[in-house]
Structure 1
């Protein structure tokens, strides 16, 4: 349905004269007649009728006046909205697996940005799959990622940021080991590193390389446990945490324990080693070119402020 035809209809419904309405609409009389015929054909009903030589609205035509007015106002509103979005709109793609660490901060950052500049609009789009490395930025699938590196007794190597990538620290939190019923250690109260000797730790594929880089297996070996690390492909966190680990182990950041109800599942047990704490420093990363956009730069600044407050 052509918005111009609707506007012309409203003019004609008021003037009830093709010549006058054509002049007001800045079209020729034959063009206006043609447009009204097209509108009636599209609607499948007559909007005007000649009565005693005068143009008049049909009952359906009178009803359509309110409809056309609403449509024109709606279209005008849409045009105004999208014109205002030019230079003020930001779509941020973040992996669904990263959102648990950012949801609250994103909400506060969006509110702060909107209060500072009401014309700014930020849409957050959750992307599927696991994406906790800079690769998800470099391949263009995500705009912001949350990545981590191990903190060994206060010593951290910091986030790995390839050229063109920037970021800031998000938070530090313990990483728990996860086992399910059937593991020989399930009922053991105190578990030390050496008790894991011969075990296999299954890791989400996006953090596997980070665990290898941070020397997790080497740290365990120093305490008497020869442990293998293996990536476990999965579609999302639900799939990973519903895996039956049996005599193998998984890992779970403390942020995700309540979110996925792991603390309420009787068949699951999370635990820390009494002689080796797994702690991760989490960072927010983004490409430098991402913040070349003014709205993106302001959003990242607001997000950084939200995280630090």
Structure 2
């Protein structure tokens, strides 16, 4: 049984006239009658009562009609779903993002604009450290990632492309002698203790901190580690040390915490998009196009 048999049957059932049904289906009447008889033979029972001047559905025909219409409707829906998927308008995207991205406009603007343009696509969002995202991409567990790339090793087959840079801020306690300076050079903090991410946390920021401090002529003295940026800010407020964090986190306002701009060359943290190095699916291509639009637009 083929879909055309169902279409012919539905046309005859709705018209109750072979001539009109044949015209509707753009087929000759004899071939149409033959197709209906083939269908009845395959099913094993008549679907129409045929008289000289009129035809009518049998009980079997009436029951078969509802199912035939449903199958044809499902077929049309399947075709449309496949076409939408081919245009990148249907399916699900698995998106990873580093925690600091939640404080930037890039992630929010990209998701908002993409949802407006592709409302039928499901988005599965996962907050992950950069190293975890890169591993998940290599294993096929993510489709795309928003990462903070700064010295971490990238798995073979995964590509990382910079889409922006956020200035770094030195987070200090309000009682620090330089708290009111506004902008500072890192070499003035060589005697301070730093609060930082653990080396194994999967963030590139420890590498950036070490690189900038060495360029300033000293090794950073780590007095406390914390896996969350907001925890580090709270510990600065408690007077346990200073921290270096991406500028967007400056919106986190806690008592006794001040944010200072860094004058050192290279005092920024790259924002990048990561994906497997192959031709992207239509779904991913559409998302990356929206991301590029957002990254290229002025804030």
Q: TM-score, normalised by structure 2?
A: 0.57
How does 1:250-265 map onto structure 2 within 5 Å? 250-258=243-251, 261-262=252-253, 265=254
Q: Secondary structure at the match of 1:255?
A: helix
Q: Where does residue 121 of structure 1 map in the other structure?
A: 120
What are the Cα deviations for residues 241-299 of structure 1, in whole angstroms up to 9, with x where unaligned?
A: 444552322233222323xx33xx3421111244556112321111135x543222232
What are the Cα deviations for residues 122-180 of structure 1, in whole angstroms up to 9, with x where unaligned?
A: 22222144346523423545332223356xxxxxx9x9644211243211221111123
What are the Cα deviations for residues 21-41 of structure 1, in whole angstroms up to 9, with x where unaligned?
A: 7762249xxxxxxxxxxxxxx
Q: Structure 2 CA distance, aligned partners of 1:275 and 1:191?
A: 8
Q: Where does residue 48 of structure 2 map in the other structure?
A: none
Q: Structure 2 CA distance, aligned partners of 1:147 and 1:128?
A: 10
How does 1:78-227 map onto structure 2 within 5 Å? 84-86=80-82, 87=85, 88-95=90-97, 97=99, 98-99=101-102, 100=104, 101-112=106-117, 114=118, 121-131=120-130, 134-149=134-149, 161-181=154-174, 183=176, 185-186=178-179, 191-198=184-191, 199-203=193-197, 210-214=204-208, 216-227=209-220
Change (3 A) 1:147 1:204: farther
Q: Secondary structure at the match of 1:24?
A: helix
Q: Structure 1 CA distance, aligned partners of 2:205 and 2:276?
A: 23
Q: Structure 2 CA distance, aligned partners of 1:80 and 1:241?
A: 56
Q: How many residues align?
A: 225
Q: Structure 2 CA distance, aligned partners of 1:292 and 1:274?
A: 39
Are 1:233 and 2:217 matched, yes or no?
no
Q: Structure 2 CA distance, aligned partners of 1:110 and 1:189?
A: 39
Change (3 A) 1:140 1:21: same
Change (3 A) 1:246 1:302: same
Q: Where does residue 24 of structure 1 map in the other structure?
A: 62
